[in-house]
Chains A and B, each alone.
Chain A
Amino acid sequence: MQFWVNQAFNGISYAALLFLLGGGLTLIFGVMKIVNIAHGSFYLLGGYVGVAVFTRTGSFYLALGAAAVTVALVGMLIERVFLRVVEGDDLRQMLLTMGIALFVQDLCLLVWGGDPFNLRGPAYFERSVRLGAFSFPILRLFMIGAAAVFFVVLWWFQERTRSGAMVRAAVDNPEMTEALGINVPVLRMAVFGLGAFLAGVGGVVGSAFMGIYPGLDFEILPYAFVVVVVGGMGSLGGALLAAIVLGLADNFGKALFPEISYFTLFGSMGVVLALRPSGLFGRA
């Protein structure tokens, strides 16, 4: 019992991190239809900026905000300056985001070196809440809470606000949306910034959870892809569900059959893509 509850709780807190990462990517994918290889780099950059701000100010929430805003601005700049030039050409977009990912990777290595960092966060992150026989670390509860808050806010934004309706329209039919007088290029830039923002939040939370080090960007990127693909590209609810399934599967899978855990992960992604390209919960 203790084992199952602990593993499930760990899985769900990991799922929270995956949602922050994949949720941003799914928004970007939905509106822009690009495979953003630089998304893991946004996570990495967010983590490093978060650590830098935290060591100087000592405030976790300031670090969180500063990192997320920085990464969002970087993302919007990249969209405006680079991605817009190659709009509509899948392969060129992919090469471009690959180049940006490598650039960010090497830049981070240059600035912060090769040693791993751990963001310790406020002191209460290290305490636990006890509930009967079980104990739940506050850091993990915070991660789950952050993901829940972002999910609710994003869902409300997408389903209940005028801007959200514009985003949904741009996902379904960009030409028609533009013809209705909505500025789709600005919308794309904003959504790319929002996706990067979420990745930045994920990076700070993640660096408190499991540290940050060179190479983490390409290590975490496949997970984000799986969340997006299985959940349905552009679907927030799908991303949440996929993140939970993936978080649990990853936690139990690595313990139960380590040799083929990655294969089953990416294999299932390939099969979902082939059989139901819009994802399990995506709109066709």
Chain B
Amino acid sequence: MRPRLSAVLAVAVGLALLAVLPPMLPAYVVILLTEGMIAAIAAGSLDLLIGYAGLASLGHAAFFAVGAYATGILATRHAASFGTTLVVSVLLAAAVSAVVALLALRASGLYFMMITLSVSMCAWGLAYRWVSLTGGDTGIVGIARPKLGLPTLARGGLDFYYTVLAFFVVCLLLLLLLVWSPFGKTLVGIRDSESRMRVLGFNVWLHKHLALTIAGAFAGLAGCLYAYYNGHVGPDAVDLGHAMLFVLMVILGGPGTLVGPLLGAFIITFLEKMVSVFTDRWVMILAAAYVVTALWAPRGLLGLVGVVRR
């Protein structure tokens, strides 16, 4: 699948707007954009699994939480710097993901989904009950945003916004490189026909394992940024609703397109905050989003408008 010129242009324009507009936007919108980009890093990396490798993982929230909790604990209790928490979050999430993959890859299809779901539930159980480490129901509070010393951008959290934007762009480029690389093509081949790829001599298991580990690392990074963004990490970052929300973002945007899930992440993030202003029934709207996506948009919004053909 070659990217169309229009798609490339749309992404370039989108990134340019993200870079130029914020100083002119209300602080509230900048905050939402920050949250959207963090969710987009997680959703984009999950698309590597769902859309490209055909691995319907429900455990992404767990690796996200590993990064978030690692950052929260290190930053509040050990006064760790941004660089330290970042490296620890990414490596720890990747390591946990690699171990989980050993277990999860013994199964496929529905059973793979169930194992990854149980991973999310384990993470939730630990976050909720391992009070001495995670703070239990209260979670970890008072995570201060890193001081990066960009004085001209100090207004309204722009300092942090541009940090997240930088990570967002780097992650997007890395994910695109992965997807276009021979490794990414092999993942697509495995998704479409595992037996054929095996006969062709590819180490199917290793490719899947690497994909899970890499995606886990990205989720850990997103979790790290989220901890600083939110200032608070609690069990709700890893509950069933959050685990499914990442999947919804991917499917809503369009699995296997990478850009679609990023779009899905922004849509869900904005929808939640916008709807909550007008009505208390956000959960109802979210429920409708799940049902509509499942029934009528299995290829996502990008599939609906026909940007991508599969």
Contact = CB atoms under 8 A, between A and B. Distances in A.
A106 interface: yes
Interface residues of A, number: 46
Interface in B222-264: 239-241, 244, 247-248, 251
B241 to A, nearest CB: 7
Contact of A275 (B106, B113, B288, B295): B106
A262 interface: yes
B271 interface: no
Contacts of A109: 283
Contacts of B103: 270-271, 274
A270 B118 contact: yes
B113 A35 contact: yes
A82 to B, nearest CB: 7
A273 B110 contact: no
Contacts of B284: 102-103, 106-107
B287 A100 contact: yes
A39 B128 CA distance: 22
Given A91-B56, A95-B247, A106-B284, A263 B126 contact: yes
B104 A100 contact: no
B119 interface: yes
Contacts of B104: 270, 274
A98 B243 CA distance: 11
A229 interface: yes
A274 B107 contact: yes
Contact of A95 (B124, B128, B293): B293
Contact of A99 (B117, B119, B122, B289): B289
B291 interface: yes
A260 B126 CA distance: 7
Interface stretch (A157-165, A185-193, A217-225): A217-225
Contacts of B126: 260, 262-263
Nearest to B295: A85
A270 B122 contact: yes
Nearest to B124: A262
A37 B243 CA distance: 12
Contacts of B239: 218
B289 A33 contact: no
A274 B248 CA distance: 25
B16 to A, nearest CB: 33
Contact residues of A: prevailing secondary structure:
helix
Interface string B124-136: 1110111110000
B114 interface: yes
B298 interface: yes
A274 B119 CA distance: 12
Contact residues of B: prevailing secondary structure:
helix
Contacts of B129: 258-263
Given A94-B113, A262-B125, A86 B107 contact: no
A96 interface: yes
A95 B290 contact: yes
B286 interface: yes
Given A91-B56, A262-B121, A266-B122, A99 B130 contact: no
A144 interface: no
B281 to A, nearest CB: 6
B140 interface: no
Contacts of A98: 244, 248, 290
B261 to A, nearest CB: 14
Contact of B291 (A82, A94, A275): A82
Contact of A91 (B113, B121, B240): B113
A33 B111 CA distance: 10
B290 A99 contact: yes
A225 B113 CA distance: 12
13 contacts: A82-B295, A90-B113, A92-B298, A99-B286, A102-B290, A106-B287, A109-B283, A261-B129, A265-B125, A266-B118, A271-B103, A273-B118, A275-B106
Interface of A: 33, 35, 37, 82, 85-86, 89-96, 98-103, 105-107, 109-110, 218, 221-222, 225, 229, 258-263, 265-267, 269-271, 273-275, 277
Interface of B: 50, 56, 58, 103-104, 106-107, 109-111, 113-115, 117-119, 121-122, 124-126, 128-132, 239-241, 244, 247-248, 251, 281, 283-284, 286-291, 293-295, 298
